[in-house]
A and B are shown apart, each in its own frame.
Chain A
């Protein structure tokens, strides 16, 4: 039923912004496995500390209250008193393995599967996968800041000056509460 690969979709979505405008977004968009790993990290305070140490962010104060669970898939499944196999069959998988991997945040569910989870449990995808949501939010917000700086750095004689000005206005509007 579902054959689209999330890696392809995801990487295209994440890199399209920088490429289409010809801007030089310096950061490479992380791949889905990296995002999955980050989401896992969100659920693991100890790994988070290690990650901070690896990246040299020793000054980062670690707040336990901020930690989110990678996903609430297992919680919702258990509330429905459903087995992984039952849920897998509802979504279109033949075996329970994929559901298990999604529950443990070992793999990222494809978009269509994530939507299927949302439909089954009537919970928004962002609420179902808060770990992934926060990882993607952090990454995109960071990329947007870089992108804004890149646009602001363009000279007045740049080719698409009107489009650039419009994008900057849109970013400013987006920031406003």
Chain B
């Protein structure tokens, strides 16, 4: 698996090498009570990453997003569109995304959305069919977050905390991949 992952990373890097756009992107994975973020400068340079929790209905999240927008001045904020398990969760995430969109607009950053399907399709090309495989591929690529790679989840276990970070990073990488394919986000 290790050599396979290395090969997949090399292929993915090669496919993204043709982009000369080193624009800064803030990739977000928003959940009802927490969000993961990754700041990328081009597909190769990971500037910042992390996971933040916030109370439902409070502006804590957006004030932290605001500090990220101020520090890194990203050209785009990329958010993954995802299906939520309940209507309540979907509404909560939607309201947070709306607030983030306003904040991004105030910092002249464009908000772009990437569908979960497109992200899955991108990584399927490199043999990654589940979240753990995608996270392993990204951990292989970005050495600085390798130690954050969560252990494989068992079907009866809940999602690992750090998965959010790798999901955000995958969103960012998918954004750069789709820049090359065309603006079909």
Contact = CB atoms under 8 A, between A and B. Distances in A.
Interface of A: 43-46, 49, 64-65, 67, 69-70, 72, 74-75, 78-79, 81, 103-105
A44 B73 contact: yes
9 contacts: A44-B73, A45-B108, A67-B24, A67-B73, A69-B24, A69-B73, A74-B71, A79-B144, A104-B71
B153 interface: no
B69 to A, nearest CB: 9
A45 B47 contact: no
B24 A46 contact: no
B126 interface: no
B4 interface: no
Nearest to A64: B75
Contact of B70 (A43, A65, A72, A75): A43
A152 to B, nearest CB: 39
Nearest to B148: A81
Given A46-B106, A46-B107, A69-B71, 10 more contacts: A43-B71, A43-B73, A49-B108, A64-B75, A69-B24, A78-B48, A78-B49, A79-B144, A104-B71, A105-B71
A105 B49 CA distance: 19
Given A45-B108, A46-B106, A75-B48, A81 B147 contact: yes
A80 to B, nearest CB: 9
A131 to B, nearest CB: 10
A72 B75 CA distance: 17
A44 B47 contact: no
Interface in B141-165: 144, 147
A65 B46 CA distance: 18
Interface of B: 23-24, 41, 46-49, 67, 70-73, 75, 106-108, 144, 147
Chain B interface secondary structure, helix, strand, loop or mixed?
Answer: mixed
B71 to A, nearest CB: 6
B47 to A, nearest CB: 5
Contacts of A67: 24, 73
Contact of A72 (B23, B47, B67): B47
Nearest to B73: A43
A15 to B, nearest CB: 31
B64 to A, nearest CB: 13
Nearest to B67: A104
Contact of A70 (B23, B67, B71, B144): B71
Contacts of B67: 104
A65 B71 contact: no
A79 B67 CA distance: 20
Contacts of B71: 43, 69-70, 74, 103-105
Nearest to B22: A65
A44 B74 CA distance: 9
A49 to B, nearest CB: 8
Nearest to B107: A46
Contacts of A65: 23
A154 B57 CA distance: 67
B49 A69 contact: no
